[in-house]
């Protein structure tokens, strides 16, 4: 082992022993490998990890047990609080050098070792949780040690010692919880003003899907909500989702959209968007039947889509941790206002599990939590089970019980909708076919059916013409 590494190792061992507190011969609970992993993630990708670390650690550098790691973290915070993009190996080393602390933490060699300590940053949230857990345990050791000493002091009153211990234990627990209790009296004025702005048209309730009948009854895709679009395979749920993405991301009120596609490649998605926008069937290119008019249409469509802010992530088998990291980063850097997942059944928890229903429950809850955290809507595609196909009635429509894998999707979602049509009527050269967009659950509004026309050649859905005043969802209650 090189001499510099031996010195660094002896120094860290000495720091651990001095930090052990009441048990000098036994280190307190900690995980040095995880500390190094978090610091490596922050140095390697501060833009994507800085906010995550700050949200877990608050202002607690004490989550790092090793003093040198604490110093490195404080330096990263100094730099990152100004601009996370400025944090890298060279800037951290330079700042430590300016403070006269570079050699004390192990020098540039140790910082370089840290940066090479991990291959990916996707587990940053899990690592942060682990460090907070160990810090809480160390604080509890301190509280218990102090309480033990006071209990042996004859002049201490038992009730006062108990009260003090209870308070300190509560402080440790509440430090991670933050302020999550809001008196209604403090919220009323802001919410009243918000309602007045909505009424006057100053602010939107939610993003418009481009299907105004649906928007009338759901309020559009609202921030913090989980909007489910479910269907059987080959019914067109991806096509409808891409229609919505195109409507949101283009035009005078265009908004940035993230599309997590677990099923299609990025080239397939772009080709589909391009042809739908141009109104040109993909088949004309496969059959080499396109003409100059088609080229002009595609050129115009490309000009429109080039101005849009659609960000595609085609990662197959996307895990919860990867979704969190990528969505947070796109929210921070690209300012996305809508995230679309195609589809939830292909996601994973990142851990081996024998129970798929339990996995989907965990995934569904995590998506809902992420929507609330980022304050953007999540449009999540899902599949329906085969019971829909088994129904002998030609007019049978999907129900909430037909959601595949888990009832937790129904519970977590704010809006659950189904896309339903007869696949047999779309075969051949049929120019269009009838479809229904069924609003089955709407926590804050009404439910019912919206009639659509599906154009198979362009994989495009359009609202069917209104024929009477009863068109659109029936005036039923929403609820949980």
Across residues 415-435, what is the average pLDDT?
A: 79
**What's the token pair of residue 478?**
């929403």
Scored b (16 or more CB within 10 A) or e, 420-456 reads bbeeeebeeeeebbebbbbbbbbeebbbbbbbbbbbb
Summarize pLDDT for 8-33 with one digit per residue, the tens. 455 445 444 444 445 556 778 888 99
Strand, helix or coil at 181? Answer: coil
Q: What pLDDT sits at residue 217?
A: 85
Can you name the residues that pair with 436 across neighbouring β-strands? 420, 451
Task: Compute the average pLDDT of residues 328-338.
Answer: 88
349-373: buried (b, 16+ CB within 10 Å) or exposed (e) per residue?
Answer: bbeeeeeeeebbbbbbbbbbebbee
> Strand locations in 293-376, DSSP E?
310-313, 338-342
**Worst-scoring range by mean pLDDT, 58-67, 165-174, 441-450?**
165-174
User: Do the Cβ atoms of 43 and 89 come closer than 8 Å?
Assistant: yes
Residue 113, both tokens: 């070792």
Give residue-wise pLDDT tens across range 152-207: 775 667 777 777 777 777 777 666 655 556 678 777 787 788 778 767 777 677 89
* pLDDT for the residue 384: 85
pLDDT tops 50 at residue 327: yes
User: Can you tell me which residue has the tokens 């510099």?
Assistant: 4
| Least confident interval from 37-41, 107-111, 348-352, 465-469 | 465-469
The whole-number pLDDT of residue 240 equals: 93
Q: Give the chain's mean pLDDT.
A: 80
Helix or strand run (H / E) with residue 37: helix 32-44
Please name the residues in contact with 466: beta carbons below 8 A apart, sequence gap of 6 or more: 213
Max mean pLDDT range (91-105, 281-295, 350-364, 389-403): 91-105
Provide the pLDDT for residue 226.
94
Domains, the chain, ranges and CATH?
3-176 (1.10.860.10), 198-463 (3.40.50.300)
| Lowest-pLDDT range of 50-64, 94-108, 342-356, 456-470 | 456-470
What's the pLDDT at 156?
65
- Does the pTM surpass 0.75? The reply is no
Reported as a pLDDT band with limits 50, 70 and 90, residue 54 is confident
What is the distance between the alpha carbons of residues 305 and 250, in angstroms, rounded to a whole number? 7
Output the pLDDT for position 69. Answer: 93
Lowest mean pLDDT among 85-94, 220-229, 343-352, 438-447: 343-352
CA 198/CA 218 separation, integer angstroms: 14
Is residue 425 scored above 80 in pLDDT?
A: no
Percentage of the chain lying above the pLDDT 90 cut = 16
Residue of 350, 333, 27, 58 whose CA lies nearest to 175: 58
How much of the chain exceeds pLDDT 70, in percent? 82
Q: Are 408 and 448 in contact (CB under 8 A)?
A: no
Asked if 206 contacts 221 with a C-beta cutoff of 8 angstroms, the reply is yes
């Amino acid at each position: 082992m090189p001499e510099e590494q031996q010195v660094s190792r002896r120094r860290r061992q000495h720091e651990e022993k001095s930090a052990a507190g009441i048990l000098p011969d036994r280190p307190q609970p900690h995980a040095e490998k995880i500390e190094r992993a978090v610091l490596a993630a922050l140095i390697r990708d501060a833009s994507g990890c800085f906010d995550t670390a700050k949200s877990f650690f608050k202002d607690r550098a004490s989550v790092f047990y090793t003093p040198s790691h604490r110093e490195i973290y404080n330096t990263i915070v100094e730099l990152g609080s100004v601009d996370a993009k400025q944090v890298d190996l060279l800037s951290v080393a330079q700042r430590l050098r300016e403070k006269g602390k570079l050699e004390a933490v192990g020098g540039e060699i140790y910082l370089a070792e840290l940066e090479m300590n991990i291959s990916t940053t996707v587990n940053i949230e899990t690592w942060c949780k682990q460090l907070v857990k160990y810090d809480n345990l160390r604080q509890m050791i301190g509280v218990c040690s102090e309480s033990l000493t006071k209990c042996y002091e004859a002049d201490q009153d038992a009730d006062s010692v108990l009260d003090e211990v209870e308070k300190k234990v509560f402080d440790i627990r509440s430090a991670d919880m933050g302020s999550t209790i809001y008196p209604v009296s403090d919220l009323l004025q802001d919410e009243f003003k918000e309602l007045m702005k909505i009424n006057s048209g100053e602010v939107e309730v939610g993003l418009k899907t481009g299907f105004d009948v649906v928007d009338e009854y759901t309020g559009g895709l609202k921030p913090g909500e989980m909007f489910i679009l479910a269907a059987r395979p080959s019914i067109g749920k991806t096509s409808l989702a891409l229609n919505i993405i195109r409507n949101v991301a283009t035009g005078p009120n265009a908004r940035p959209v993230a599309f997590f596609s677990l099923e299609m490649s990025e080239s397939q998605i772009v080709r589909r968007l391009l042809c739908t926008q141009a109104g040109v069937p993909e088949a004309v290119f496969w059959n080499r039947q396109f003409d100059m008019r088609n080229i002009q249409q595609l050129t115009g469509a490309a000009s429109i889509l080039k101005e849009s802010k659609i960000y595609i992530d085609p990662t197959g088998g996307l895990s919860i941790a990867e979704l969190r990291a990528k969505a947070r980063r796109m929210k921070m850097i690209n300012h996305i206002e809508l995230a679309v997942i195609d589809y939830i059944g292909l996601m994973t928890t990142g851990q081996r599990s024998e129970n798929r229903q339990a996995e989907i429950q965990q995934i569904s809850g995590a998506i809902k939590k992420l929507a609330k955290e980022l304050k953007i809507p999540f449009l999540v595609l899902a599949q329906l089970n085969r019971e829909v196909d088994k129904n002998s009635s030609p007019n049978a429509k999907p129900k909430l019980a037909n959601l595949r894998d888990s009832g937790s999707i129904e519970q977590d979602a704010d809006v659950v909708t189904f896309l339903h049509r007869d696949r047999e009527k779309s075969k051949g050269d049929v120019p269009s076919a009838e479809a229904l967009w069924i609003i089955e659950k709407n926590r804050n509004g009404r439910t019912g059916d919206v009639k659509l026309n599906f154009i198979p050649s362009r994989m495009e859905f359009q609202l069917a013409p209104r024929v009477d005043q009863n068109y659109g969802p029936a005036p039923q209650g929403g609820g949980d």
